[in-house]
Amino acid sequence: MADALLSSPFFGLTLSAAAWCLGCQVQKKTGFLLCNPLLIAVALIIAVLAVFRIPYASYAAGGDFIKLMLGPVTAVLALNIYNQRVILKENFLPVLAGCLVGSLTSVGSILALCRVFHVDEALAASLLPKSVTTAIAMGIAESHGGVAGIAAAAVMVAGITGAVFAPLFARLFRVTEPVVEGLAIGACSHALGTTRAIEIGPVQGAMSSIAICVCGIMTSVLALFL
């Protein structure tokens, strides 16, 4: 009975949904900065798999279905961009400049840190695209001899960090312009950060959605010269 349950795709789907819902409830009740639903869900899923010694393959049979939704969900963000098209038209050049600086900073900082700590080329290639969405990051990493799994993990860490700390950094550096705040979040923490930007405001969400697309293209181009 237990084997049949664990081998079913519904196990991974149910566990993911339950962990996410619990994370949302914890965030609503506590309001604590680190109580991000995704962070809580990841910790809960890892804990369940470890405590009950459930193979990851059993979870992935259903959990991977969620991965298939990354592309469609990212495409849906285009609706938010369309709704804010007037603001995009007014700030077109600043958007391009901001995304270019964000992409250069992300790639440059990774290269510099990898050289300082003498990281091997495979790991450096895996960490290089950590600030773009998962699908693009995995492709860039693999094309440069990196490991797709490490790239995906780096993307998740960058995304969760941005989603959790973006409002704090905005207050700390006194960023009050919605366009600037949205671009910064999207350029640094891609889709995960964008979910937080949408909660902050519609303009922030739209600008963050734009940054995902533009920074993904720019990072892909920059990677060709590395």
Nearest to 160 by CA among 192, 187, 127: 192
24 and 77 together in one domain: no
Which residue range forms the structural domain that includes residue 64? 2-68
Two structure tokens written together for 45: 């899923």
* Predicted confidence (pLDDT) at residue 77 exceeds the cutoff of 70: no
pLDDT digits (tens, 9 = 90+) for 172-187: 888 888 888 999 998 8
Two structure tokens written together for 71: 């592309």
Q: Which residues contact 82 (CB under 8 A, 6 or more apart)?
A: none
* Predicted confidence (pLDDT) at residue 1 exceeds the cutoff of 60: no
Residue at 50: amino acid letter: A
What is the average pLDDT score of the chain?
Answer: 84
Which one-letter DSSP state was computed for residue 19? H
Helix axes 134-143, 202-223, angle to 10 degrees: 10
Structural domains in the chain (count): 2
**pTM to 2 decimals?**
0.76
56 and 139 together in one domain: no
Tell me what pLDDT residue 150 has: 87
113 and 76 together in one domain: yes
Task: Mark which of 50, 68, 86 sits at the end of a domain.
Answer: 68
178 and 99 together in one domain: yes
Quote the radius of gyration of the chain (alpha carbons, Å): 18
31 and 126 together in one domain: no
Nearest to 182 by CA among 217, 222, 141, 211: 211
pLDDT digits (tens, 9 = 90+) for 98-141: 899 999 999 999 999 999 999 888 889 999 888 888 778 888 88
